[in-house]
Amino acid sequence: MRFVLLALLSLALMITDYRHGLLDPARQAISTVIHPIRLLAALPTQILDTADQKLTSRGELIAENKRLKARQQIFEARLQRLDALEVENIRLRSLLDSSYDLESPVLIAELIQVDLDPFSHLIEVSKGHRAGVAVGQPVIDSDGIIGQVDRVTPFSATVRLISDPGHGIPVQVNRNGLRSVAFGTGRLDTLSITSLPNNADIRRGDLLVTSGLGGRFPSGYPVGEVRSVTTDPGQSFSMVALEPLGALGRIQEVLLIQQKDNQPAPTTESDDNE
């Protein structure tokens, strides 16, 4: 009898959780209380990492330092040009009366090494709403978009990767501005676009960047590269497979982009729950 009651209770819980998000405060409270369990689970990897760092030889460190300095110089040189281009862009846009997002502040967070549910693509990062993280914030690494913040607790946040089967991200082809939505496939190395007509101008090697539609992801961040375009004359849409640029499989540190107006319209975008 007790089992039947509890079963009904869980059903009710699941429905409220799924439909309305009414349980978010409760979930947040539980999550915060059991945060130590997560830290405990991450401990072995953390110890290994630390040992690895401590045991690196001096010679290796010097070599790495040199390499990084060289890279830094190259990047700085590139950045000079980028600065000039950005100023020019702002000037041109002001001529056209359209606004331009200046670069937004970012927050660096580390990955907490834990495996969450293996069939959805979630990761746990080390900054929570104490540090200003909010639900819906875009998350990137040095190469591209990784995902968006799904839930926050005071000390940690759960990030849903763009490869999650329930995740969609508005993109455009960098070459010609063709817009679409890229969905996760459940595989870390593939996103897919299924809503482009057969005659769409998209081909292998095209870079896709965020389009900024939907208001959740700022525009212009790289998402992925087209790996293949499969066109079947019998179907009205072609199958486009993308290779995500962000290193989804080996994330160490992530950047959380802070948007000034952090009240995105959640209606138009097909995000997590769809």
Residues 211-250 as x/- pattern, contact with other proteins by CB under 8 A: --------------------------------------x-
Per CB under 8 A, which of residues 18..37 are in contact with other proteins? 18, 23, 26-27, 30-31, 34, 37
Cα 166 to chain centroid distance, Å, stands at: 13
Instruction: Give the Cα separation of 249 and 163 in Å (integer).
Output: 10
In this structure, the strands spanning 253-257 and 207-210 are unpaired
Instruction: Give the Cα separation of 36 and 21 in Å (integer).
Output: 24
The H or E element spanning position 30 is helix 24-33
What is the number of residues in the chain?
274
Residue 103 touching other proteins (CB under 8 A): no
Write down the least CB distance from residue 90 to other proteins, Å: 40
Residue placing its CB nearer to other proteins in the complex, 154 or 186: 186
Instruction: Give the Cα separation of 269 and 159 in Å (integer).
Output: 17
Residue choice 118, 205, 233, 234 for contact with other proteins (CB under 8 A): 118
Residue with the two structure tokens 């945060």 = 35
Which one of 63-71, 108-116, 235-243, 259-267 is the stretch in contact with other proteins (CB under 8 A)?
108-116
Write down the least CB distance from residue 26 to other proteins, Å: 7
Residue 117 touching other proteins (CB under 8 A): yes
Residue 47 touching other proteins (CB under 8 A): no
Which one of 42-50, 97-105, 133-141, 226-234 is the stretch in contact with other proteins (CB under 8 A)?
42-50
- Say if CB 151 and CB 25 are below 8 A apart: no
Residues 146-165 as x/- pattern, contact with other proteins by CB under 8 A: ----xx------x------x
Residue placing its CB nearer to other proteins in the complex, 150 or 206: 150
Instruction: Give the Cα separation of 191 and 171 in Å (integer).
Output: 11
Residues 173-202 as x/- pattern, contact with other proteins by CB under 8 A: -------------x----------------
Residue 165: C-alpha distances to residues 24, 162, 271 (Å): 22, 8, 10
Residue type, 113: Q
- Say if CB 216 and CB 269 are below 8 A apart: yes
CB atoms within 10 A of CB 157: 27
Residue choice 56, 116, 195, 228 for contact with other proteins (CB under 8 A): 116
Q: What is the DSSP letter of 174?
A: T
Site residues for other proteins per CB under 8 A: 2-3, 6-7, 9-14, 17-18, 23, 26-27, 30-31, 34, 37-38, 40-42, 44-45, 113-120, 122, 150-151, 158, 165-166, 186, 249, 273-274
